[in-house]
Amino acid sequence: MAFDSLSQRLQDTFSKLRKKGKIDEETLNLSIREIRLALLDADVNIKVVKQFIASVKERALGQEVMKSLTPGQMVVKIVNEELTTILGGENAPLQEAKKGPTVIMMTGLQGAGKTTTTAKLAKHLQNKKKTILLAACDIYRPAAINQLQILGEELNVPVFSLPSGTPALDIAKNAVQQAYEEKLDYVIIDTAGRLHVDEDLMNELKDISNEVHPTETLLVVDAMTGQDAANVANHFHSLLSLTGVILTKLDGDTRGGAALSIKSLTGAPIKFIGTGEKTNELEPFFPDRMASRILGMGDVLSLIEKAQSTIDQEKAKEIEEQLKEGQFTFDMFLESMQQMKKMGPLEDLLKMVPGANKLGPMKNVQIDEKQMAHTEAIILSMTKKERLDPSILNNSRKIRIANGSGTSIGEVNRLIKQFYEMQKMMNNMPALMGKMNKKMKKKKKKKKR
């Protein structure tokens, strides 16, 4: 995952600082040197690194340490704020047209994932109850139009295209006209890319832009290309006046330097990040939340939003009602696990939990997807009665379940033990939640007084 190496190095540096009661200039300089090397290794542009380090050093040496914080915590606070600044400061949402459909023009080089990202953006807008038309303007790449049509069918979003040989400019113009006539909310134009920036590509994009006047001109950039991503963004921005950037493949083994360089170098904010291949794996970019993730401070807001957008709310309510009644069964265990899987890799979700990085056994955890598949197989090999009442699981039943799931009796026994531990915890949840609610109500009453 992006930033893993940078995150680990920064956290190690801060861990040393926190142990010191007082920070002198020599200690601070050594820490800042470590931060600088970590950023350069993450492929952050050297100009951005120099600017960042200068700001951190000036503030760390010139600012009084707050009484409620240790010197180490103050440095972490300063680095967090400066990271947020170079990442863009605040979330930059999509702008909407004042009249007619909002036109979004997607640009980028070939191979950055532009067509897939076009579909992901459509899915994001669809979740907001918007009506969308996709315009297939990549007329050069073989099967590009067909790829967009397949993605459109999956999302139940119409795709506008014209016969082979029609110029991209005409396709874009007619797509926008159709969206006006049908009173749609958005038109997303998937334009052609090249293996490198060339004059023909830029002229075609400028012609389309001058004709349809997009509200948003977004550049799709592959985060794994490192500093090249920032250079490409700079070039496109100088010719097209980008309104934003979408970073793809941020789930890959990348050092993350592109995300930390683009806004400072181009002025164009990062609006979304791609975190996987599925159409629902596109997230709005929040600089403050990303800075917190990099520093191992978690990202609860993104975790909550991810849960709200992916988890079946009706099923979640059913589970909540059953928990209130003190009922936690293997069916609920399976349902909870399947709902969690929809949210993405569990190790990535864990990184959003504040303090998770400090928990010894949880640190650098790798969730075994095969083990999860075994767990599902074991539960599905149980009868309905066994899932409702695990106390009836004697040795002969366990042997049958192990054979049916292709696992061992040892694995079955381990799962049953885990289930009872989770059942005990879940059955205590209503009481714990009740206590927390009472405390919250008391606090609110005190505030009113």
* Amino acid making up residue 352: M
pLDDT of residue 434: 55
Q: Are 172 and 211 in contact (CB under 8 A)?
A: yes
pLDDT of residue 66: 42
**To 10 degrees, the CA torsion angle through 394, 396, 398, 399?**
160
Q: pLDDT tens digit string along 102-155? A: 999 999 988 888 999 999 999 999 989 999 999 999 988 878 899 999 999 999
Taking 70 as the threshold, does the pLDDT of residue 92 lie above it? yes
Percentages of the chain per state (helix, strand, coil), in multiples of 5: 60, 10, 30
- State the average pLDDT for the chain: 79
**pLDDT band for position 2 (50/70/90)?**
low
Q: Which contacts qualify for 274-277: CB closer than 8 Å, 24 or more apart?
A: 274/113, 274/117, 274/120, 274/246, 274/247, 274/248, 274/249, 274/250, 275/250, 275/251, 275/344, 275/348, 276/251, 276/344, 277/116
Q: Are 75 and 294 in contact (CB under 8 A)?
A: no
Q: pLDDT tens digit string along 266-321? A: 888 999 988 888 888 898 998 888 888 777 665 445 545 555 555 555 655 665 56
Arithmetic mean of pLDDT, 13-29: 73
Domains (ranges, CATH) in the chain? 4-86 (1.20.120.140), 102-297 (3.40.50.300), 305-448 (1.10.260.30)
Phi, psi angles (nearest 5°) of residue 201: -60, -50
CA 290 vs. chain centroid, Å, equals: 9
**pLDDT band for position 360 (50/70/90)?**
very low
Q: pLDDT tens digit string along 372-414? A: 788 889 999 999 999 888 889 999 999 999 999 999 999 999 9
Write down the H helix ranges in 97-164: 114-126, 144-155
Lowest-confidence pick of 168-172, 179-183, 258-262, 434-438: 434-438
pLDDT of residue 325: 58
**pLDDT band for position 245 (50/70/90)?**
very high
Q: pLDDT tens digit string along 31-41? A: 888 888 888 88
Q: pLDDT tens digit string along 53-90? A: 998 888 877 655 444 456 677 778 888 888 899 888 88
The most distant pair of C-alpha atoms in the chain lies apart, rounded to whole Å, by 74
